[in-house]
Every structure is written in structure tokens, then in C-alpha cells.
Amino acid sequence: MTTPFRVLQRITANRKPAVPAGERCEMCAETIADEHHHVVNVEGRQLMCVCRACYLLFIDGNATLRYRAVPDRYLSFPDFTISQGEWDALDIPVGLAFFFHNSALDRTVAFYPGPAGATESELPLAEWGAVRERHPELDVLAADVEALLIRVPERGTAEATCLLLPIDACYEFVGRMRTLWRGFDGGQDVHRYMDDFFATVSARARPGGVR
């Protein structure tokens, strides 16, 4: 005789274990922690949250892969300089941008922050090439997964800063700025956040050229 209790036992026995709450790897669906790795979809230019096992599949920077693991490298370039004319020639409307080489497009791409988040700029390749020619140390940049973050303060290009960061750190930085942005120039909260971010990252970075 089938009783309500037996039906309940059957349902419970067939039920799959509860899935722990939290973020999941976008490749294998494994649960991942809040602090986790990222890979870049090279063609789609998209960041994907992944577990360590999936991350390790794409760490070979010399292989031709659709996905690339984002490294955890921070470099500073204390000898970096850029003139006001060079910066103006790059057509970046604000004093901050990050630059990375997109291997699918085979060109350097620039993004700058604003109230809508990261905005892509049509980078004049000749002008950017001139900056790189003066600073060959910048060519350590890994395509797709690392970016050069350049800041030109209101005080002028004489105090410009250039750092190499993981590409996910750049997007997170610009995304946080978007949430804080107020008014035309971002407001005090944005400028305070920029100062804190550059101080923290600069303290973490090693001098460029050191591996």
C-alpha cells in the first residue's frame, strides 16, 4: 500500500543534492569563490569567471587558443614620459585610459572611463606607435590579457603615470568608477578612488622589465 509517507521518501531519495550558493565557473559550472581567476575570450573580448582547473588550461601564452588566462602581473614604468602633444594626439578626452593589444583585430585598443563605464577610443596607431618607439620597455605587454593604464593628472603630463595591470583589474577599476561618477568630471569620490587605486597598485608593482 502506497502511503503519503512512502511517496515523500521516494521524492526525497531521487532529489539531487542542494547546490551551494555562490558564483560558478563559466566553463565547467564548478562553484568558485568570490576571489577567482579569469580568462579572456579573445574573439569576443569578454572576461569569463573560471575555476583554477579551467584557468590552468589556458596559461600558455604562445599557444593559439580561443581563450587566454589573465595573469597576475603588476609592473611600473618610472621612466615613462609623454608630452601633452602626444597625449592630445591620442584623442583621449580624459586624463586616464588603458591600452591593450587585441590579437583578433591585430591592433592596440584604448578604453577610457566615463559615466557609462569603459568607452572605446579609435586609437591613432601612428601616434601610439611613436610613444611605444620611445618606450620599448612597454612591449612586455601580453596581448589580450594585460593592459597599460596611463594617467595624466590635471597638473600636466610631467606627472604622468604608466602601469601594467591584468586586464580584469582595469575593467574592475573603470567599472567601480562608473558607480561613483557624478557630474561632468566624476566628482570628488571618483578622484579620491583614483588616488587610492594608483597608490595601492603602484606599491604592488615591480619595476618594468623585471620578470
Average pLDDT on 51-68 reads: 88
Q: What is the DSSP letter of 51?
A: -
Q: 18-37, pLDDT tens digit by residue?
A: 444 458 999 999 999 988 99
Count of CA atoms in the C-beta half-sphere (13 A) of 175? 6
Average pLDDT over residues 85-89: 91
Per-chain mean pLDDT for the chain: 85
d(CA 202, CA 195): 11
Write down the pLDDT at residue 73: 95
Q: Model confidence at 163, in pLDDT bands (50, 70, 90)?
A: very high
pLDDT computed for residue 18 by the predictor? 43
